[in-house]
Amino acid sequence: FNLLGLTKGQMDSLKVAVKPNYHLPVYCDAGGYAVGADFDPEKYYSDGGQSIGNSLGFNDGVTIETGTPLFKIIDINSLRADLKVRTEDVWILRKGQKVIFTVSSGEKFEAAISQIEPLNGGLFQLVKVYFTNKEGHMLPGSQIQAQILTGNHEALWLSRTAVVNLGQQQSAFVMQDSKFIATTIQTGLRSGENIEILSGVDQSAKVALNGLLLTDSDGFINTSSR
């Protein structure tokens, strides 16, 4: 009986019981969520929790053969966080970079990037972070805040308003001979209200703060400075 998971109190009770007990609870030392035997976590969370109901698959009158798995327990001591990162920012990420999670209670804990999905041309890429959850910080399906530490990155930055997006190229208005001239630039990371400039503008250039004010529906307008 001990191997079946019965407690000492249950076995002592059986020794002195006069009538048989046809309902005998058996306890398991594993903790987690009881789900159906065919439960697929990937599918469940990808479709917003619509792939499973409240039932574990038990129905009255159904015959169960010996050895048939009825349900399984999902251990939440180890979890995976899926982070959506803009494709244009993924190039600066690396496996093993530190990630700081903030849960709803305000408590913070650290993990590291485990996998970065290959580029597929979409607006976002999926960054996967596996971490231990022995303290019970997280529950499956919870929303979290995450900060990825990428280290120092020195670059030349312009305000977002200074960059004009033309679809196939991006431009900024750079002062040349007392006039603002449209200049093609190459951009990189976006951080808050700033955009990294990879080429086209140097540190000594004077750039119009709001490039859209110097454009019209027909094209660029060269505007004399005042």
pLDDT digits (tens, 9 = 90+) for 7-27: 888 888 888 888 887 777 777
Give the pLDDT of residue 226: 41
> What sign does the dihedral 147-152-153-157 (CA atoms) show?
positive
What's the whole-number average pLDDT of the chain? 80
Spatial separation of the C-alpha atoms in residues 127 and 84, rounded to whole Å = 6
Angle subtended at Cα 77 by Cα 76 and Cα 82, rounded to the nearest 5 degrees: 65
The average pLDDT across 61-84 equals 83
Question: Is residue 222 classed exposed, middle or buried when 0-12, 13-18 and 19+ CB atoms within 10 A define those classes?
Answer: exposed
96-118 pLDDT per residue, tens: 999 999 887 788 889 999 999 88
The structure tokens listed for 214 are 């110097």
Lowest-pLDDT choice from 1-10, 174-183, 203-212 = 1-10
What is the arithmetic mean of pLDDT over 173-182?
Answer: 88
Dump pLDDT digits (tens) for 14-68.
Answer: 888 888 877 777 777 777 777 877 777 777 766 655 555 445 666 777 787 888 8
**Angstrom distance (rounded) from CA 104 to CA 123:** 27
DSSP symbol at 207: B
With beta carbons less than 8 A apart as the criterion, state whether 105 and 145 touch: no
Predicted local distance difference test score (pLDDT) of residue 195? 87
Give CA angle at 54 (49, 58), nearest 5°: 130
pLDDT computed for residue 224 by the predictor? 44
Residues constituting the chain: 226
**Given this model, what pLDDT does residue 7 score?**
81
In this structure, what DSSP letter does residue 13 have? Answer: H
Provide the pLDDT for residue 223. 46
3-state secondary structure 86-131: EHHHHHHCCCCCEEEEECCCCCEEEEECCEECCCCCCCEEEEEEEE
Q: Report the candidate in 30, 26, 25 with the shortest Cα–Cα distance to residue 3.
A: 26
**Tens-digit pLDDT profile for residues 119-168:** 777 788 899 999 888 777 777 777 888 999 987 777 888 988 999 887 77
Q: 83 vs 41, which has greater pLDDT?
A: 83
What is d(CA 194, CA 199) in angstroms, rounded to the nearest whole number? 15
Prediction pTM value: 0.56
* pLDDT at 6 exceeding the cut of 60: yes
